[in-house]
Each structure stands twice: as structure tokens, then as C-alpha cells.
Structure 1
Amino acid sequence: MLRLQFVEGRPQLGLWQACPGDKAPPLGILWRPEVVACASDTISFAGTEQSAGRWCYQVWFCEVHNLPQALSLQRLQNAVDANHEPN
């Protein structure tokens, strides 16, 4: 499960194996995520992740099964229209 939230004013995308509210820690945290690609049933996100004390640029992808084509096209258009300039 992916969950987008703001922590100290910065966007954070968390990846959990279970459902919200589970006490298990996230499998990963992507800071300052942005949508970088969206096609068919796959959405790709990019951002920074801390791994073994080092900050790394990461790209995650998420498969959304049975996504209607119209919604997929709308998500792609939203990604194209988004401001991708660094804040």
C-alpha cells in the first residue's frame, strides 16, 4: 500500500506491506516524491530515500491492476501538466 503524507512540511510517500494503521514499519519512505511516468496500469514515482545512512535517488513503480483506460489517460495528462521544477 502506498500512502502520501506531509511530514514537517515535506511530502513523503510510504510503502507498506499491510494495511493502514498496522504497527509494522514501512518497507520504504520516498521523500519529495513526484510522478515521473504513468502508462496503462503502471505509475512510476521518483524521489530520495535513505538507505544504510546514505541518501539515494530512487524510482519506484506501482502496478494498478484493472485501471480503466480513461483514468490511466487522465493520470498521464495530470503528470504532463504538473510543475516538475524543484522547489
Structure 2
Amino acid sequence: ILGWGYGTMCPSFQTMFIDMAPASRRGTANSTYMTSWDVGVGAGVVIGGYVAQYMSYHAAYGIAMCTCTAGLIIFIAKTARHYKANKL
């Protein structure tokens, strides 16, 4: 299930972000998305490892859940209006 989720989420988000950028900035939008994804995954692994080691796996998953939920709320609040107005 995790692989299916990532397999559908990554290209969908990438397409959505690229569609939000003007045609002259699509390369920048693509590279920014991919760089942010890589930095987020790398930082998440390191931080999650420390939390799991010094606290517990339960705490690591709880923090990850809260972080993802906060990120989703911020994303929707900041981009929903812009995306609806500028999508192709």
C-alpha cells in the first residue's frame, strides 16, 4: 500500500506544482519540487531515527503524523486558491 501511495502521489504532486508555475519557470518548479522532496526525505530519516532511538518508535510515528498533518493544512491554506485560479 505504501508503494502504491508514493507511486501515485509523487507524479501527481509534481504535475500539480509544475502546472502552477508559468511556462518560463517550469524547469525551476520541477527542480525545486524534487530538491525539496529529497531534502525532506533525508531530514525525516535522520530526525526520525534520533527520535526513535532516544524516545520510541511510537513517538517517531506520532511526530511524523503531526508533521504531515500540519504540512497538509498549511499547503491547502496557502495554495488552494492559487491552484484553482491558475490550473491549466
Question: Greater Rg, structure 1 or structure 2?
Answer: 2
More helix by share: 2
Q: Same fold (TM over 0.5)?
A: no
Using the size of structure 1 for normalisation, the TM-score is 0.26
Using the size of structure 2 for normalisation, the TM-score is 0.26
Higher relative contact order (CA 8 A, sep 6+): 2
